Amino acid sequence: MADAELFVPYGHLDYGESKVGKTDYLLSVFDSKYIKPEEVLYLDNHGSTRGFGAPRYDPKKPYGVKAIRPDKPESFLKECEKIRSNIARGTNKYKVVILDDVSEHAQAAIQRRNKEQPGKSIRNWGEHLDAMTEPIRLILPEYSGIIMLMSARAGRMTDVLEDKSKLMDANSDNPDTVIRPLIQGQFGTWILFQFDLISFHEFDKVGTHGTADFWPAKDRYSGNRFLKKWSKMKIPRKVEDMTFDKVYEIVQKVAQEETNDG
């Protein structure tokens, strides 16, 4: 096991179909050996945590699961601004910030923007990109020192590297598609670059949290920044019955290996 005192901030986007264990994985942070419940802010924008018995946010005890309305996507920005302000003052208590899920967050935001400004689709998508990137930039692990976890739904969508002119050309073949996080527009491309880990989550019969694949694949998006070390250390490409601690310990081991090499 890696050094329990080595705290490593990182970003992890876990995505998959409905009811495969994404929320189970995220909630497992409350059972962590490394993170205390009062060090976790879990933002739930679609009620996926109902019935799990997780700690609920209270203004007097500001940690645990906090429900935010999906029809008010700016609430995520406000939460991130609070965290960033507390970091600047040296009063931040959170080591882990979770958004469950970013697909709902992005979809609600663009739907409201199109409703408020009908007929301005191109402009709306540009403003949408700016609005969506702002809160995430505030809590990126590299700058915040926080572990950033998010879930997303899976969808078969256009490859981010596909020639987009094909979408406008009725005479061209249909563009290539891949399985990737269900996040539309340029924000859906931008966000893929902001995580150290992107895992594809599937249900299996091992445990209750499902299995996640962290290895690149031809027909879908997944992978990690630690790929070279991951391979060198013979860490399995899939994490079965995935919990927060299982992933965190892998990140710790890789970080420790980099420290030793340095």
Q: What is the pLDDT of residue 219?
A: 87
Ranges in the chain, pLDDT < 70: 1-5, 108-130, 160-175, 205-207, 261-262
Look at residue 41 and tell me if it is in a domain: yes
**Residue 26, Cα to own-chain centre: how many angstroms?**
10
Into how many domains does the chain fold? 1
Look at residue 4 and tell me if it is in a domain: no
Q: What is the pLDDT of residue 174?
A: 58
First to last CA, the chain: 20
Q: What is the pLDDT of residue 70?
A: 76
- Cross-strand bridge partners of residue 96: 40, 147
Look at residue 6 and tell me if it is in a domain: no
Q: What is the pLDDT of residue 212?
A: 94
Look at residue 67 and tell me if it is in a domain: yes
Look at residue 168 and tell me if it is in a domain: yes
Contact 11, 96 (CB under 8 A): no
Contact 183, 160 (CB under 8 A): no
Question: If DSSP states are collapsed to H, E and C, what string results for the chain?
Answer: CCCCCCCCCCEEEEEECCCCCHHHHHHHHHHCCCCCHHHEEEEECCCCCCCCCCCECECCECCEEEECCCCCCHHHHHHHHHHHHHHHHCCCCCCEEEEECHHHHHHHHHHHHHHHCCCCHHHHHHHHHHHHHHHHHHCCHHHHCCEEEEEEEEEEEECCCCCCHHHHCCCCCCCCEEEEECCCHHHHHHHHHHCCEEEEEECCCCCCCCEEECCCCCCECCEECCHHHHHHCCCCCEECCCCHHHHHHHHHHHHHHHHHHC
Look at residue 5 and tell me if it is in a domain: no
Instruction: Give the CA angle between residues 194, 153, 22 to the nearest 5°.
Output: 90
Q: What is the pLDDT of residue 65?
A: 96
Phi, psi of 119 (to 5 degrees): 85, 5
Q: What is the pLDDT of residue 2?
A: 44
Q: For residue 249, which amino acid is it?
A: E
CATH code of the domain covering residue 64: 3.40.50
254: domain range? 11-261
Sign of torsion over alpha carbons 241, 243, 248, 251? positive
* 174: nearest Cα among 154, 156, 192: 156
Contact 66, 42 (CB under 8 A): yes
Look at residue 3 and tell me if it is in a domain: no
* 160: nearest Cα among 211, 198, 115, 134: 198
Q: What is the pLDDT of residue 1?
A: 41
Look at residue 2 and tell me if it is in a domain: no
